[in-house]
């Protein structure tokens, strides 16, 4: 049985609740966004990360202003973005539940590339970035980050961990699809 929620302004309804329900159906890659400042390493789990441009290579990272790592990320000017591999649910769970620098224990699971921002050693992909611009947007800051280094995991580790419907989901490496279209005449 399907349950349809339709938001219409003329009907009194909590649009934020409807929006959150809708966004739960939006699968998103699980990333760890991290920085290092004079206070040490700090970071958060984020799903609002996407490519901005290939020239120069850059990302958009949306960070809630109430997040404990928000100010450190903005003040440091550097950020590491680690895309978690599909089989690293336990690490993602542990990272999200830990607080402060405890998120970066054990230290052997972390490395740096160029800027000094931490990146997860087992990431499917890790981006090392410098912040170029920050724009406030409602409850979040939108961070424009220029990529200065990229580390790509092993060829066989292409799948990534996803967030969907209030929980982790796995996206394994894509298998080539059979071309079922008729050949051109």
- What pLDDT is stored for residue 51 in this prediction? 97
Sole residue written with tokens 């079922």? 180
Residue 172 confidence (pLDDT) above 70: no
pTM confidence score: 0.86
Give the pLDDT score at 1.
46
Instruction: State residue 155's pLDDT score.
Output: 65
What are the tens digits of pLDDT across the range 49-61? 999 999 999 999 9
Query: Is there a contact between 30 and 95 (Cβ–Cβ < 8 Å)?
Result: no
Please provide the CATH number assigned to the domain covering 15-168: 2.30.110.10
Alpha helices in 34-160, H assignment, sequence order: 70-76, 89-97
Domain ranges of the chain: 15-168
């Amino acid at each position: 049985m399907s349950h349809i929620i339709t938001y219409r302004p003329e009907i009194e309804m909590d649009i934020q609740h409807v929006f959150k329900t809708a966004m739960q159906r939006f699968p998103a890659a699980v990333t760890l966004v991290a920085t290092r400042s004079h206070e040490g390493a700090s970071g958060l789990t984020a799903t609002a990360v996407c490519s901005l441009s290939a020239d120069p290579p850059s990302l958009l990272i949306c960070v809630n202003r109430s997040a404990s790592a928000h100010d450190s990320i903005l003040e440091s000017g550097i950020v590491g973005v680690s895309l978690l591999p599909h089989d690293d649910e336990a690490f993602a769970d542990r990272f999200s539940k830990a607080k402060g620098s405890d998120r970066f224990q054990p230290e052997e699971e972390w490395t740096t590339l160029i800027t000094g921002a931490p990146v997860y050693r087992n990431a499917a992909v890790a981006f090392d970035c410098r912040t170029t611009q920050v724009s406030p947007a409602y409850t979040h800051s939108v961070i424009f980050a220029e990529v200065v280094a990229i580390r790509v995991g092993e060829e066989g580790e292409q799948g990534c961990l996803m967030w969907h419907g209030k929980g982790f989901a796995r996206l394994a490496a894509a298998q080539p699809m059979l071309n079922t279209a008729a050949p051109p005449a």
